[in-house]
Amino acid sequence: MPVGANRGYTASAAGVALETMTTTVLIVDDEPGILATLSGVLSDEGYATLTTESGEAAVELYRERRPDVVFLDVWLPDRDGLETLQALRELDPAAAVIMMSGHGTASTAVKAIKMGAFEYVEKPLSYNEAVDAVAGALSYRESVSRDSGLLESLEKTKTRLEAMPELEPAPELALLQETDEAQRTLSAGTVLYGLGLHSGNRTGMTLQPLPVDTGIHFVSLPTNTYLPAHVTSVAETDHATTLSREGQEIKTVEHLLSALSASGVTNLLIKVHGEIPVLDGSALEFCEALERVGVVEQDAARREIVIDRRYEVEGEGGKRLSIEPADVFSARYELSYPPPVGDQVCDFVLSDYQAYRDAIAPARTFGFMKDLQMMNELGLGTGGRLDNCILVGEDNVINTTLRFPDEFARHKVLDIIGDLYLLGYPIRGRVEAHLTGHKMNIAMLREIAAG
């Protein structure tokens, strides 16, 4: 079968001599620039190259063409690199696979090696690193082909990914009602990269479509641990909302969930390691990513939680949060900090997605210079940079220009929308909040869930 772009992969310029060259390298990466650069380097060295952005296509290419070496990225839009590695090794236990990532972790590297990857390298690769990696992989493959005992050992000792359990929708609630709107998911998978706000680690995230009546779900890489996007998974609420299960954590889920809630996405699989990328500190880039890929309606009605009475939680220092019946979702947040922030009020009605995108999504997270030492001692905020949060000094904002005069209060509304989506369904009701944060948002969810 000829290689064609309609199958999700292409041959490099060196492909004109594909049939006569003895060594072929398959490069699998979601970034076209990496594909082009690495393919060019290896072509200059006399190798034939095949490239694809798809894990599915990579497995098919390997089955059809049996390349000698594979460069395989961890973050792919349709199936992650570890899943693809497992499929390649099932096809060929001696597959010489070089895992690579610019947003990986030591645990991912260890997992890849245990699963049978020949090597794990960090992007960007230098010219010499790429060439040396191929030479090493070819030597490894030659050794395996000569030693039947080694091949038998590889077949016996390869580590597999834990099978992910069947995804179940959020628990039923008595307040659920069917709406006139359809359920939604993404038209295709996509990958986002960035820093974790609190971990400071480089991280990637894959968003993948799911069928109707599935819900929003997280998977922690590289362990393949499943964490439902539900209040029952919430472990911490200090400075961000953290989900936890079986020793695995996913931090700062609220900004992404806020964008998903406002855009009506009801079914989605989110693969990430450790922490959702903070991007610019708001939900705007998440909205842009959803728009770029495309949100599509599905053949089933969306359900929402219709608040039937007043719920209220209170905290120290006059903190209070309430929600009561209303025709649409709206939220009023009252914020009070010492100058230069001062008193702010944001009163927002979620009339449609565009209202959210214009008025709430651009509002960024913020922090205070006086708190930085304490947060660093707690291991928080280490990913804060001048371009991904509002940094407030004693007298003024010191690193940026505010997007709105009341941007701080607007971001609090953004957080409320994201946290409230952890009941698994959008909420119809009127929220009023005074000086509250993630802790009380989650307490409110538990009140609603308890009835």
DSSP 218-260: EEETTTTEEEESSGGGEEE-SSS-EEEETTEEEE--HHHHHHH
The answer to whether 365 touches 397, Cβ cutoff 8 Å, is: no
Q: Mean of the pLDDT values across residues 215-242?
A: 93
| Least trusted range by pLDDT, from 23-37, 148-162, 289-303 | 148-162
What is the structure's pLDDT at 148? 64
Give domain status of residue 418, yes or no: yes
Q: What is the CATH number of the domain that holds 9?
A: 3.40.50.2300
**Within this chain, do residues 266 and 324 fall inside the same structural domain, yes or no?**
yes
**Start-end of H helices in 163-217:** none
Q: What's the rounded Cα separation, in Å, for the pair 211 and 225?
A: 20
Whether residue 171 lies inside any domain: the answer is: no
DSSP SS3 for 264? coil
What is the per-residue pLDDT for 394?
Answer: 87
Same-domain pairing of 11 and 85: yes
The predicted model scores a pTM of: 0.87
What amino acid positions are annotated as catalytic residues?
438
Same domain flag for 71 and 213: no
For residues 179 and 329, give the distance between their C-alpha atoms in angstroms, rounded to a whole number: 14
Task: Please give the structure tokens belonging to residue 196.
Answer: 């974790």
Looking at the structure, do residues 94 and 189 belong to the same domain, yes or no? no
- Which of these, 163, 119, 168, lies nearest to 141 by C-alpha position? 119
CA triplet 102, 14, 81: central angle to 5 degrees?
A: 30
Q: Are 75 and 194 in contact (CB under 8 A)?
A: no
Band (pLDDT 50/70/90 cuts) for residue 152 is: low
Q: What is the pLDDT of residue 403?
A: 97
According to the model, what pLDDT value does residue 377 have?
44
Tell me, what amino acid is at 172?
A: E
Q: Is the peptide bond before 222 cis (omega within 30 degrees of 0)?
A: yes
Contact 392, 398 (CB under 8 A): yes
Pair (365, 427) in one structural domain: yes
Residue 15 has pLDDT above 70, yes or no: no
Instruction: Decide which of 103, 122, 157 is a domain's last residue.
Output: 157
Indicate the length of the chain as a whole number: 451
List helix spans (H) across 45-126: 55-65, 81-91, 106-114
Q: How confident is the model at residue 151 (pLDDT cuts 50, 70, 90)?
A: low
Asked if 149 and 181 sit in the same domain, the reply is: no
Distance CA 140, CA 109 (A): 18
Packed helices 55-65 and 81-91: angle between N→C axes, nearest 10 degrees: 20
3-state secondary structure 271-301: EECEECECCCCCCHHHHHHHHHHCEEEEEEE
- What is the distance between the alpha carbons of residues 64 and 47, in angstroms, rounded to a whole number? 18
CATH number at residue 306: 3.30.1700.10
* Bond preceding residue 124 cis, omega within 30 of 0: yes
**Is residue 95 domain-shared with residue 238, that is, in the same domain?**
no
Residues 242, 363, single domain; the answer is yes
Together in a domain, 244 and 304? yes
Q: How far is residue 349's CA from residue 332's CA, in Å, rounded to a whole number? A: 9
Does 372 map to a domain? yes
Domain-embedded: residue 201: yes
Domain housing 295: 176-450
Instruction: Tell whether 260 and 316 lie within a shared domain.
Output: yes
C-alpha 250/C-alpha 265 separation (Å) is 20
Identify whether 169 is part of a domain: no
Which pLDDT belongs to residue 6? 32
Range from 2-11, 69-78, 119-128, 230-239 carrying the lowest mean pLDDT: 2-11
Poorest-pLDDT segment among 62-76, 156-170, 173-187, 205-219 = 156-170
Same domain, 150 and 191: no
The distance of Cα 223 from the centroid of its chain, to the nearest Å, equals 15
143 assigned to some structural domain: yes
Ranges 12-16, 202-206, 215-219, 258-262: which has the least confidence: 12-16
Taking the C-alpha atoms of residue 15 and residue 27, their distance in angstroms, rounded to an integer, is 13
CB 237 within 8 A of CB 437: yes
End-of-domain residue from the set 128, 157, 186: 157
Kindly report which listed range (59-68, 334-343, 390-399) carries the lowest average pLDDT score: 390-399
- What percent of the chain clears pLDDT 90, i.e. is strictly above it? 71
Residues 6+ apart with CB under 8 A from 172: none
Domain identity same for 145 and 183: no
Relative orientation angle of helices 254-263 and 284-293, to the nearest 10 degrees: 50
Task: Kindly give the pairing relationship between strand 9-11 and strand 48-52.
Answer: antiparallel
Is position 162 within any domain? no
Q: Structurally, how many domains does the chain consist of? A: 2
Mean pLDDT, residues 226-246 taken together: 93
Residue 299 in any domain: the answer is: yes
Q: Residue 278 corresponds to which tokens in the numbers above? A: 């903070």
